[in-house]
Amino acid sequence: MVAGMLAGAVATAVLAAGGGAVGGDATPCYEMRVGARFAPPTAFISSSAITYDKKLVPAGSSIEVEQRGRPGDMAVKVRVKGMKPGHAYGAHVHQKPCGPDPAAAGGHYQHREDPVQPSEDPAYVNAENEVWLDFTADRNGSGKATARHGWEFRPGGAGSVVLHREQGGAGDRVACFTVPFAPVG
């Protein structure tokens, strides 16, 4: 536990079945929540949250991601603290875990995958087919967003949340957080 605290990561995952936990019916539900503090990729103590731009995502700022749902129905929520006040960030679920190179996270997770990669077709690159979590940091540097979808992640298909310099479809990657996303069913 001490090593996890030093690295700035806290994780909990709960799989609840049989009702009561979400919505009260007998359909199994899933909940996962992870959080970490951002550190540069060269930090002595590594973190699952990496900042590539310390002006927009200062070292020590934090992120928490939650995934909840039932088969065929999912919500992903992001909360951040310590960001640049007033900045409008793009945020999306990406295919792979983070790495020292911002490109390591791969492209956006797409429910219906564009056969042409990298994907630029608006029929695939949109908030209905991808998980967009854009937010604007308030005067204290905090922000949050939630995306809800009538689908769930494919096994092994989603691996991180990437913060982008700008809102919308993409832009420079300023930070990345590796998240253990899973199908909810």
Tell me the average pLDDT across 19-43: 77
Sorting pLDDT into bands at 50, 70 and 90, what band is 19? very low
Beta-ladder partners of 78: 65, 145
For 6, 95, 147, 155, the CA distances from 172, given in Å and listed in that order, are 28, 16, 21, 27
20/32 Cα distance (integer angstroms): 17
pLDDT digits (tens, 9 = 90+) for 161-173: 999 999 986 789 9
For the stretch 122-158, pLDDT in tens is 999 999 999 999 999 999 999 999 999 999 999 999 9
Other C-beta atoms closer than 10 Å to the C-beta of 8 total: 21
Range in 18-32, 81-95, 149-163, 168-182 the model is least confident about: 18-32
61-88 per-position pLDDT tens digit: 999 999 999 998 999 999 999 999 999 9
User: 116: which DSSP letter?
Assistant: S
Percentage of the residues of the chain whose pLDDT score is greater than 70: 84
What is the reported pTM?
0.86
Q: Using alpha carbons only, what angle is made at residue 13 by residues 49 and 83, rounded to the nearest 5 degrees?
A: 30
Average pLDDT, the chain: 87
pLDDT at 107 over 50: yes
Angle at 168 between CA 54 and CA 147, to 5 degrees: 95
Instruction: Classify 2-178 by CATH class.
Output: mainly beta
Query: Which residues, other chains included, contact 171 with Cβ-Cβ below 8 Å and sequence gap of 6+?
Result: 90, 164, 165
